Each structure stands twice: as C-alpha cells, then as structure tokens.
Amino acid sequence: MRKHIPAAILTVCSAVFHAGPAFGWGDTGHRIICRIAYDELRPEVRGRVDALEAIDPRYRTFTDLCTAADKSPRMRPAEHFVNLPRSARSIDPATPCPVSDRCVVSAVLDDMRDLAFAQDVTEQLRLLKTLTHFMGDIHQPMHVSFEDDKGGNLISASGLCGRSLHAAWDSCLIEKTLGFDSDTIATSLEAEITSGDRSRWLAGDIGPKAVASWANETFTITTRPEVGYCERASDGCRYSAYQPEYHGGAQKVVVVDEHYLSVNAPFVRDRIKAAGVRLGAVLNSVLMPDQSPVGEYPERTRQ
C-alpha cells in the first residue's frame, strides 16, 4: 500500500524532539468536527475508518472516538495545545513548539506521518484517536495561547458562561450559540460550507507550513480584542493592562454576555467548520491507498 505524504512532513517531524488541564472544544465540539470530517471522507477511507472503529471496545462511533484523547487516562496531555511567548506574533513552521519540545502542532504532524506508516491495527486505532482530537484542538483559540494563564484557565468568566475563559470556549459558546446535538449542528454547519471556504481552508499541500498556518489562524483569533484573552501592547499581548503576565493572585474577569456571544459566535463556527474539512482532507491523504507508481516510504526515523 502506498500513500503520498509531503516529504517536508517527514523532515520536520524527525527534527522535532518527542518526548494545567485544557480540554479543547469539549465533547460536543469534537463530535461536530468529526462528523463533518466523516462526511468528507472518500469511500475507501471511510471503510478503513469504520473498520478501525469497529475493533474499539469502548467507542462505538467515529464521533465518539474523537473524544477519546480527553478521557481518563488522558492521552499525551502535553500535546493538546501550543504555548507561545507573549511577545510572539505567530508560529514559525521551523519551530512548531516555541517554548517546549512537543505541542499540538508537532502532534498533528507526528500523527499524520505515523498513521501513514503504521501497520498494526491497534496502533492505527490509537493514532486515529489522537490525530482526530488534535486536529480539533489546533483550531480552538484557547489551545494556541500563553503558558502563564494556562490557556485562559486562569482567567475567570462571568455572565452567561461561568468558570474560566477556557471553559467558556471549550463548551459554553458552542452550547449557547449552536446547541447540544452534534449531528444536527454538523448538518447545519455543512450546509454553510462554500467552495470558497474549501479553497481557503485547503490551499496548498498539507505539510508543516499548512499546519503551522492553522495554528496561526487560531492565534489571531485568540488575541483579538473581542475575545478578551489578552491586551495588545508594544511588548506583546499582556495578561491585562496592569500585568504583562499572570503570576498568581486575583484573576481578571471576562464578562460573557449576549454581545460577547454575538461577536464571537462566527469565530466558533468558522474554526469548527475548518477543522472538520481539514481533518477529512488529512485522513484522505494518509489513509487513501495510492495506485500511482511511487516508491515506498523510507524507513521511519524518530528521536
């Protein structure tokens, strides 16, 4: 069986060293993304996904499988997010994890490569669980953020969404603006996807530059004033006007009211739709048998 994986993925993944809780989108968000992705799959790839899902003793549907990485014991907890320095404006594809050895950007690249190579079905199933989940996480604004406030876990939220700003973006914004039924929501969002959206979300090859660009799109939303996550200044994006970083004590509070929901709902919808379409394209790339006369993959290398 032969498949095309951009050579740059192999290069960057081998160069990345592998080695507070953050649960991207919550179960509903991940199920919506994976339902959209499932509908994007080619028949041959859908058959392979169905066969892998069928051997799992716990998760009986593909959409449920996509939530597995957040369940206890949590799978690869350090790779659900990427932290940036507060002075950063973006992620460089050559340095996918700016302040750590591993992160969600390298995790997506690793899992794409490893799923393409994996021969054992148990290993394929494990990688399917993590890749589908990490593809959701990389599109969640609080998962492309800063370390000192734990991706918004140390920013309080009040109003229509309590607890933390991270929790608000994980679940509350979805529930308040889209609802609870993941299948119904996915069908509605799929109907909104245009050919222009697809061209925008799938421009170019799916490689290190593309995956880094997905994280950078997310980071642009994370740091928007409307989100309330940080405050732009000459030295970067500060925790608050009076605190460059959070080092304990009273947390700032973001009020999530009807105006906040109205302003940020389009970002939630766009990130979920983009994640679903891109996940479908990724799975079609790494799981689709290739009949073209290309050489076999070189032996895997890992650090």
The encoded tokens of residue 237 equal: 């994006």
pLDDT of residue 26: 87
pLDDT of residue 292: 33
Residues of the chain with pLDDT under 50: 1-22, 291-303
Domain boundaries, the chain: 7-151+179-226+271-287
Q: Are 66 and 59 in contact (CB under 8 A)?
A: no
In 3D space, the residue among 147, 176, 180, 167 whose CA is nearest the CA of residue 254 turns out to be: 167
Q: Could you give the angle at the alpha carbon of 280 between the alpha carbons of 276 and 286, nearest 5°?
A: 140
pLDDT of residue 24: 62
Q: Counting every residue, how long is the chain? A: 303
pLDDT of residue 290: 66
Q: Please report which residue ranges of 178-232 form alpha helices under DSSP H.
A: 182-192, 195-201, 208-222
Angle between the N-to-C axes of helices 121-137 and 26-40, in degrees from 0 to 180, rounded to the nearest 10 = 110
pLDDT of residue 72: 86
d(CA 212, CA 18): 17
Q: pTM to 2 decimals?
A: 0.88
pLDDT of residue 190: 99
The strand pair at 236-238 and 231-233 is best described as antiparallel
The encoded tokens of residue 63 equal: 């959409």
pLDDT of residue 54: 96
Q: SS3 breakdown of the chain: % helix, strand, coil, rounded to 5?
A: 50, 5, 40
What is the CATH class of 7-151+179-226+271-287?
mainly alpha
Q: Could you give the angle at the alpha carbon of 169 between the alpha carbons of 163 and 173, nearest 5°?
A: 95
d(CA 24, CA 192): 23
